[in-house]
């Protein structure tokens, strides 16, 4: 299993507002690429995460961090941070919100359509639900999402 520990600067995202990122040291990038690693488990200033390695389009790799991770670690753009990462041995695993799984268990049509999506789309939709702090909000989002899935109304989809 590939692992790495390094110290680096927390950088601001040029792509997504309120997100930061950390660059994988260039000396290690090829090792991660050659191994075909797409997702990593790790910590930044001892705050755990499970995230994707993203290509920067210029030969490098980075990990995008949301504001919740930065807030927990009391980190701001420009800070030096300690990072430890290791290969995610279950890169396809998605930790679904229990509320969403329950809604899908009761709605065969939404479930069939949802599990036909790519893993990336499933993960993205699940994040929308799991980011809600209260059970009530997660349930509300789960029902709304199931309805949109059935109507092909998520945005960017072909109707039909």
Q: Dump pLDDT digits (tens) for 26-54.
A: 999 999 999 999 999 999 999 999 999 99
- Specify if 136 maps to a domain: yes
> What is the four-CA torsion angle of 49, 58, 27, 81, rounded to 10 degrees?
-40
- Specify if 116 maps to a domain: yes
- Specify if 22 maps to a domain: yes
Residues 14 and 76 placed together within one structural domain of the fold: yes
- Specify if 69 maps to a domain: yes
The position carrying tokens 């995460």 is 49
pTM: 0.73
139 Cβ neighbours under 8 A, 6+ residues apart: 99, 103
Band (pLDDT 50/70/90 cuts) for residue 66 is confident
- Specify if 27 maps to a domain: yes
Among 44, 61, 48, smallest CA distance to 6 is for 44
Residues 7 and 83 placed together within one structural domain of the fold: yes
Q: How far is CA 42 from CA 48, 136, 155, in A?
A: 6, 30, 32
CB atoms within 10 A of CB 85: 24
Instruction: Summarize pLDDT for 86-117 with one digit per residue, the tens.
Output: 999 998 899 999 999 999 999 999 999 999 99
Residues 77 and 110 placed together within one structural domain of the fold: no
Beta strand extents in the chain (DSSP E only)? 3-9, 11-12, 19-23, 39-44, 47-52, 54-55, 61-66, 80-87
Yes or no: say if 11 and 40 are a contact pair by the CB < 8 Å rule.
no
| Domain count of the fold of the chain | 2
Domain carrying residue 36: 3-87
Residues 79 and 103 placed together within one structural domain of the fold: no
């Amino acid at each position: 299993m590939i692992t790495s520990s390094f110290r680096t600067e927390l950088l601001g995202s040029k792509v997504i507002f309120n997100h930061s990122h950390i660059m994988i040291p260039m000396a290690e990038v090829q090792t991660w690429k050659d191994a075909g690693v797409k997702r990593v488990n790790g910590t930044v200033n001892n705050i755990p995460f499970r995230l994707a390695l993203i290509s920067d389009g210029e030969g490098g790799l980075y990990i995008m961090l949301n504001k919740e991770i930065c807030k927990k670690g009391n980190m701001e753009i420009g800070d030096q941070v300690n990072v430890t990462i290791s290969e995610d041995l279950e890169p396809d695993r998605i930790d679904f919100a229990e509320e969403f799984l329950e809604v899908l268990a009761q709605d065969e049509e939404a479930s069939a359509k949802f599990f036909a999506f790519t893993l990336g789309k499933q993960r993205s939709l699940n994040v929308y639900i799991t980011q809600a702090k209260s059970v009530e909000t997660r349930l509300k989002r789960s029902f709304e999402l199931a309805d949109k899935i059935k109507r092909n109304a998520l945005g960017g989809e072909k109707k039909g």
